[in-house]
Amino acid sequence: MPGFELFGDQEREEVNKVLDTGVLMRYGFDGMRKGQWKALELEAALCRRMEVNHAQLVSSGTAALTVALASAGVGAGDEVIMPTFTFVASFESVLAIGAVPVLVDIDDTLTLDPKAVAAAITPRTKVVMPVHMCGSMADLDALKELCDKHDILLIEDACQAIGGTYKGKPLGSIGDLGCFSFDYVKTITCGEGGALITNNETYKKHADHYSDHGHDHVGNDRGAESHPFLGYNYRISELNAAVGVAQIKRLDDFIAIQKEHYSTIRKALAGVEGVTFRRVPEGGEENYSFLNIFLPDEEMARKAHKALSEAGIDGCFYWFDNNWHYIKKWDHLKKATSLGKLPQDVLDNLPDHEGADFSASDHWMGRNISVLIKLGWDQETVASRASTMAEVLETVLKAG
């Protein structure tokens, strides 16, 4: 990742088809389109690739999460359980609809710990939202069992994991809804964009209307359409969708390249005593966008991260100190800091994330280094990178 590394003639061709029509909006202007409906084309391609009945394109991954939650009837005061390691968009989407994010510990999958989820369920819990960070998944069978037992929705935030699978099923297709991001640094990109997928016809209908100001899209006169419920503007443009039309055709090639690069580096690091790897649940396959390793302790991880950077190995992330991806620095969430007053349901029910004990998450995040896998590397670059990383880590670990 990301897909922009391999932009080429395919993307330009699809964008030029839209530019040739002059119609950049996904709805209306039928007579001017010359048969070009890129958003519809990409939605159909997503349904085929993700093995689902319905897809709805929107303007971002954040929009996909927001629309998915709203489409399933999640609203004021409902609780959504999610992991401490995610991107801020996950809880932003929950707050945007007046619901309450409840963050719980991760385990060695770097995603939701089912035991922590079980302990956090209350009568107000409406959704469990596993976030497939860095291309791999949670223990989805265990989470689905919990959701079925308590009649809770399972919504997959697969924004970083397109192309991964669990027991043969594409990530995003296992829950009641799944969400993807197609922003500029994702495995496939639209520049900006996102999508939700589902097999539930009602959720699809809701998403279609909600993401376009509540328009019901009945008939061929946009000005005469009715509005069965309130909606907002989360539309994607035809230009963005056109890029995605080209990129999704290349997804399997991208995953294959990532897997080859990932495997080369993992093989080199597997021989380094003291380095272990993130657990991928049995039956799961990553999308190979990141290789996640654990060092013996936080001090060693910090030393290793610094040494890798000094050795010229870019793209190594120490998420434990990251502003965007780990709860430790989310003061704006902990203190409920907002430009305007938050809904009373949120203010009354937001957990005390500031005072909570997330030491179980700290145990894994403090020891983790996440290595970005790039599409644009050649074999010589990958081999050199793997060798250098192994040497650096061996040196750090031997020095203690």
pLDDT at res. 380: 97
In this predicted structure, the answer to whether residue 1 has a pLDDT above a threshold of 90 is: no
pLDDT at res. 349: 96
Q: Residue 252: pLDDT band by 50, 70, 90 thresholds?
A: very high
Q: Residue 2: pLDDT band by 50, 70, 90 thresholds?
A: confident
In this predicted structure, the answer to whether residue 400 has a pLDDT above a threshold of 90 is: no
Stretch 375-393: mean pLDDT: 97
Cα(375)–Cα(362) distance, integer angstroms = 31
Name the token pair of 7: 């932009």
Name the token pair of 336: 């409920």
Cα(202)–Cα(204) distance, integer angstroms = 5
pLDDT at res. 361: 98
Strands across the sheet containing 169-170: 169-170, 165-166, 284-285
Q: Residue 121: pLDDT band by 50, 70, 90 thresholds?
A: very high
Neighbours of 215 (CB within 10 A): 18
Q: What is the mean pLDDT of the chain?
A: 97
Residue 384: CB partners within 8 Å, gap ≥ 6? Answer: none
Stretch 323-349: mean pLDDT: 96
17 noted as active-site residue: no
Neighbour-count burial for 322-346, b at 16+ CB within 10 Å, e otherwise: eeebbbbebeebbeeeeeeeebebb
Query: Measuring CA to CA, how many Å separate 215 from each of 57, 203, 230, 340, 371?
Result: 15, 15, 9, 28, 43
DSSP 375: S
Strand partners of residue 194 = 58, 181
- Domains of the chain and CATH, by start: 3-250 (3.40.640.10), 252-399 (3.90.1150.10)
Stretch 333-358: mean pLDDT: 96
Annotated catalytic residue, options 126, 186, 328, 334: 186
pLDDT in tens, 178-233: 999 999 999 999 999 999 999 999 999 999 999 999 999 999 899 999 999 999 99
Cα(102)–Cα(118) distance, integer angstroms = 12
Q: Which helix (H) or strand (E) element contains residue 369?
A: strand 368-372
Is the full-model pTM beyond 0.95?
yes
Cα(187)–Cα(8) distance, integer angstroms = 15
pLDDT in tens, 82-98: 999 999 999 999 999 99
